[in-house]
């Protein structure tokens, strides 16, 4: 199952901007140091020198975040169709089959019932390796179900986003997933059940412009690129170079758009702490007294 | 009379012919001239049928962006008595790419409603002021403020959609363009008053949808609605904007296509040759359809509206759902 060591086309395409380290040594995108890739893997795929966050394969992230043995995957029966008969250089239907073979997943999103740091949650995360995490009908449906399950069971919803936006190959149906997921969230909100949105690198387009920006609390990984329009589109429109650090998590924090930046290693205890506070628990989180030893901070 | 210089290539022969007929009508002519006009009118009608019965998706995209096409305020001024425009988001500024205000809907006996919509500008100066109909966050936040006001006052909302998309700029990102759009999607899903949206021109992506969550979605015959502009789609998937024409066809973005996908409730016919040939008639057709839908929605309570709206969007999407065995718990190392 060590598929991250295999170099296939899907992961290559998906990680166009931020690589999953694969070779023996790798040049850090953050500080340009040459780093032993084994060391990077040991430190949760962060650079041991500068803390730069490389992209993390979905399986590793699930193992890092969800309590051991708690996760039950949901909605496995949902699979994509090709409603438009879309074709660019290849048929959309063929692309889907190839990606399903490469990733072992039906589409770009996975949903779970699980617990995080002891708190039961309705959880979902993007599989960026699948078509850049783009949101079509399947992704929109699964996210809607994550929110609906949170509402039914009165448990917090947690969604980790990493997506280029709506999926062009499903046309208007993809656009409507923005309205659908946001409507589900509107219902959840009226019940007083919290939703924490975690933004990974990158979160843009129709995903940013819907549920990802609607968290009661919005967290982001250091350095994640987050925004509505992609930097290339903005540069083409205004015909100017973009300022350094534009649309990075730190930029969004400064402009009041997100609540906090949380390094990968701290995400599980921080989420636990936050959920207990939102729940009105009087007891502090157990991880506050004894920091998780199994995942050292890089 | 339409300016042929502002006409699309495929409609130019028709516009020139129509203008010629118009000129002849100005002349004090005898019977001979009247007969000539009649022949030309018959020819124009044949030519119109020929051109418009066979429009490609790309030609419809061009029509939806036609520089002479009626814009939101052209409709509002014809549909409303006593239009009272309201401005600003109360936080940053007044975005003129979005207009909103109260008015009496003439075809519905002067009933007060809220109009909200994207506004493009005619001529360079106004186009710049309106930012080509591309709102910034404050435009969406103005829309949200006004729609929430309408909901408190129990007034129906008429949303007119016409934008290439939300503005992609540094300032827009700094002020939370994504959040502004997202918030409107959430808020509109929960407003307990009837919302009828009409795509009158370009339905450009999230920037259009952010004023377009509704109980009834209408599209004008030559309007389009898409997840990204055909140019944007082409530059990403075909790596060149010159494939926009292909992308327009592939994305299924014309009113007919969108109806086939089950997203649109009604297509509003346009006057012969398109809405830009007759603003009054285009507005009359929109007013008639909107009023009819508002009357039907009148019968529903606030809660029924919200349940219906939720069900409408909940059902959107295309996927399979085959039964599979229960998944074992995820192995976590």
- Give the pLDDT of residue A15: 41
Judge: A171–B227 Cβ closer than 8 Å, yes or no. yes
Asked whether residue B322 carries a pLDDT value surpassing 70, the answer given is yes
Choose the closest CB to B170 out of A71, A180, A246. A246
Total residues belonging to chain A: 298
Asked whether residue B295 carries a pLDDT value surpassing 70, the answer given is yes
The 10s digit of each residue's pLDDT in A199-217 is 999 999 999 999 999 999 9
Average pLDDT score over residue span A108-115: 98
Look at phi and psi of residue B67 and say left if phi exceeds 0, alpha if psi is from -120 to 50, else beta: alpha
Contacting B residues, span 85-144, partner chain A, CB-CB under 8 Å: none
Asked whether residue A294 carries a pLDDT value surpassing 60, the answer given is no
The domains of chain A are located at 56-278
The 10s digit of each residue's pLDDT in A175-185 is 999 999 999 99
The 10s digit of each residue's pLDDT in A222-244 is 999 999 998 888 988 888 889 99
- Give the pLDDT of residue A14: 42
Percentages helix, strand, coil for chain B (3-state, rounded to 5) are 50, 15, 30
Mean pLDDT, chain B, whole residue set: 94
Give the model's confidence band at A7: pLDDT under 50 very low, under 70 low, under 90 confident, else very high.
very low
Asked whether residue A1 carries a pLDDT value surpassing 80, the answer given is no
**Residue A108: both structure tokens together:** 């770009």
- Give the pLDDT of residue B2: 84
Query: Which of A286, A180, A267 minimizes the C-alpha distance to B209?
Result: A180
Judge: A84–B251 Cβ closer than 8 Å, yes or no. yes
d(CA A296, CA B286) in angstroms, rounded, equals 63
3-state secondary structure of A81: coil
SS3 per-residue string spanning A228-246: CCCHHHHHHHHCCCCCCCC
Closest chain B residue to the Cα of A203, Cα to Cα? B178
- Give the pLDDT of residue B323: 56
- Give the pLDDT of residue A4: 47
- Give the pLDDT of residue A136: 98
Give the model's confidence band at A80: pLDDT under 50 very low, under 70 low, under 90 confident, else very high.
very high
d(CA A264, CA A53) in angstroms, rounded, equals 8
Contacts of B163 in chain A (CB under 8 A): none
The domains of chain B are located at 8-54, 61-314
**Residue B207: both structure tokens together:** 């920037």
Asked whether residue A286 carries a pLDDT value surpassing 80, the answer given is no
Mean pLDDT, chain A, whole residue set: 89
Query: Which of A119, A120, A121, A95 minimizes the C-alpha distance to A107?
Result: A95
| pTM summary value | 0.92
The 10s digit of each residue's pLDDT in B85-130 is 999 999 999 999 999 999 999 999 999 999 999 999 999 999 999 9
Q: How far is B157 from chain A (nearest CA, A)?
A: 17
Contacting B residues, span 265-324, partner chain A, CB-CB under 8 Å: 309-310, 313-314, 316-324
Choose the closest CB to A83 out of B167, B182, B261. B261
Choose the closest CB to B182 out of A77, A213, A242. A213
* Residue B210 neighbours by CB under 8 Å, 6+ apart: A209, B135, B140, B143, B166, B180, B181, B184, B185
- Give the pLDDT of residue A11: 44
3-state secondary structure of A82: coil
Contacts of B303 in chain A (CB under 8 A): none
Asked whether residue A65 carries a pLDDT value surpassing 80, the answer given is yes
- Give the pLDDT of residue B80: 98
Q: Which residue has the tokens 């409408």?
A: B312
d(CA A162, CA B288) in angstroms, rounded, equals 44
Closest chain A residue to the Cα of B206, Cα to Cα? A206
The 10s digit of each residue's pLDDT in B261-287 is 999 999 999 999 999 999 999 999 999
Q: How far is CA A102 from the centre of its chain?
A: 19
d(CA A195, CA A193) in angstroms, rounded, equals 7
Q: From residue A51, how far is each of A58, A222, A223, B20, B23 by CA, in Å?
A: 19, 9, 10, 73, 75
Residue A70 is given by DSSP the state T
Q: Which of A227-231, B163-167, B239-243 has the highest mean pLDDT?
A: B163-167
Judge: B318–A246 Cβ closer than 8 Å, yes or no. no
Average pLDDT score over residue span A47-64: 92
Q: How far is B315 from chain A (nearest CA, A)?
A: 8
* Residue B212 neighbours by CB under 8 Å, 6+ apart: B159, B161, B197, B199, B203
Query: Which of B252, B218, B254, B258 minimizes the C-alpha distance to B52?
Result: B254
Judge: A137–B319 Cβ closer than 8 Å, yes or no. yes
CATH class of the domain whose range is A56-278: alpha beta
Q: Which of B20-24, B51-55, B200-204, B240-244 has the highest mean pLDDT?
A: B200-204
Average pLDDT score over residue span A278-289: 69
Closest chain A residue to the Cα of B255, Cα to Cα? A172
Asked whether residue B238 carries a pLDDT value surpassing 70, the answer given is yes
Q: How far is CA A269 from the centre of its chain?
A: 18
Total residues belonging to chain B: 333
* Residue A84 neighbours by CB under 8 Å, 6+ apart: A92, A169, A170, A171, B250, B251, B252
Closest chain B residue to the Cα of A167, Cα to Cα? B227
- Give the pLDDT of residue B27: 83
Domain B61-314 carries which CATH code?
Answer: 3.90.226.10
Give the model's confidence band at A142: pLDDT under 50 very low, under 70 low, under 90 confident, else very high.
very high
Q: How far is CA A178 from the centre of its chain?
A: 16
Query: Which of A169, A173, A184 minimizes the C-alpha distance to B311?
Result: A184
- Give the pLDDT of residue A282: 80
Asked whether residue A113 carries a pLDDT value surpassing 90, the answer given is yes
d(CA A74, CA A110) in angstroms, rounded, equals 8
Please classify residue A218 by burial: count the beta carbons closer than 10 Å to its beta carbon, then call 0-12 exposed, 13-18 middle and 19+ buried. buried
d(CA B243, CA A237) in angstroms, rounded, equals 19
- Give the pLDDT of residue A22: 66
Judge: B179–A257 Cβ closer than 8 Å, yes or no. yes
């Amino acid at each position: 199952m060590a598929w991250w060591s295999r170099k296939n086309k899907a992961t290559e395409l998906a990680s166009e901007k931020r690589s999953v380290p694969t070779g023996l040594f790798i040049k850090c995108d953050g500080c340009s140091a040459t780093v032993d890739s084994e060391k990077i893997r040991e430190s949760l795929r962060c650079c041991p020198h500068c803390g730069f966050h490389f992209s993390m394969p979905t399986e590793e992230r699930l193992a890092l975040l969800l309590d051991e043995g708690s996760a039950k995957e949901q909605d496995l029966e949902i699979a994509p169709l090709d409603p438009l008969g879309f074709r660019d250089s290849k048929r959309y239907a063929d692309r889907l089959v190839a990606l399903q073979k490469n990733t072992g997943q039906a589409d770009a999103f996975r949903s779970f019932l699980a617990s995080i740091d002891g708190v039961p949650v309705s959880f979902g995360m993007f599989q960026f390796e699948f078509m850049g995490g783009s949101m079509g009908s399947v992704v929109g449906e699964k996210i809607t179900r994550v929110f609906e399950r949170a509402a039914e069971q009165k448990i917090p919803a947690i969604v980790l986003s990493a997506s280029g936006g709506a999926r062009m190959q499903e046309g208007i149906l993809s656009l409507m997933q923005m309205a659908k997921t946001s409507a589900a969230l509107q219902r959840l909100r009226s019940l007083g059940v919290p939703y924490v949105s975690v933004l990974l690198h990158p979160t843009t387009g129709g995903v940013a412009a819907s549920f990802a920006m609607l968290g009661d609390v919005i967290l982001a990984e250091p350095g994640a690129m987050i925004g509505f329009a992609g930097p290339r589109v903005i540069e083409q429109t205004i015909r100017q170079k973009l300022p350094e650090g534009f649309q990075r998590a730190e930029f969004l924090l400064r402009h009041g758009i997100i609540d906090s930046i949380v390094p990968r290693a701290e995400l599980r205890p921080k989420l636990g702490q936050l959920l207990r506070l939102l729940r009105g628990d009087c007891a502090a989180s157990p991880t506050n007294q004894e920091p998780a030893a199994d995942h050292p901070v890089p | 009379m339409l300016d042929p210089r502002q006409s699309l290539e495929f409609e130019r022969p028709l516009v020139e012919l129509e203008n010629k007929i118009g000129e002849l009508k100005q002349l004090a002519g005898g019977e001979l001239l009247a007969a000539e006009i009649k022949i030309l009118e018959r020819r124009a009608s044949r030519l119109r049928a020929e051109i418009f019965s066979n429009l490609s998706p790309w030609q419809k995209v061009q029509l939806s962006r036609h520089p002479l096409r009626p814009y939101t305020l052209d409709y509002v001024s014809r549909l409303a008595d006593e239009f009272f425009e309201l401005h600003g988001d109360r936080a940053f500024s007044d975005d003129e790419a979005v207009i909103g205000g109260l008015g009496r809907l003439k075809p519905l006996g002067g009933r007060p409603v809220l109009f909200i919509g994207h506004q493009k500008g005619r001529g360079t100066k106004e186009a710049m002021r309106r930012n080509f109909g591309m709102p910034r966050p404050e435009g969406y936040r103005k829309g949200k403020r006004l729609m929430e006001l309408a909901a408190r006052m129990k007034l129906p909302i008429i949303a007119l959609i016409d934008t290439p998309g939300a503005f992609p700029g540094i300032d827009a990102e700094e002020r939370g363009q994504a959040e502004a759009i997202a918030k409107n999607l959430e808020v509109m899903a929960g407003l307990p008053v009837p919302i009828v949206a009409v795509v009158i021109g370009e339905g450009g992506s999230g920037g259009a949808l952010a004023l377009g969550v509704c109980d009834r979605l209408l599209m004008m015959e030559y309007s389009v609605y898409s997840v990204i502009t055909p140019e944007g789609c082409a530059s990403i998937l075909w790596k060149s904007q010159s494939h926009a024409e292909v992308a327009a066809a592939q994305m299924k973005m014309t009113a007919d296509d969108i109806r086939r996908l089950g997203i649109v409730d009604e297509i509003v016919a346009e006057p012969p040759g398109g809405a830009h040939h007759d603003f009054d008639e285009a507005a009359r057709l929109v007013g008639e359809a909107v009023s009819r839908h508002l009357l039907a929605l009148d019968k529903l309570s606030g809660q029924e509206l919200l349940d219906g709206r939720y069900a409408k969007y909940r059902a959107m999407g295309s996927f399979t759902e085959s039964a599979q065995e229960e998944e074992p718990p995820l192995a976590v190392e």
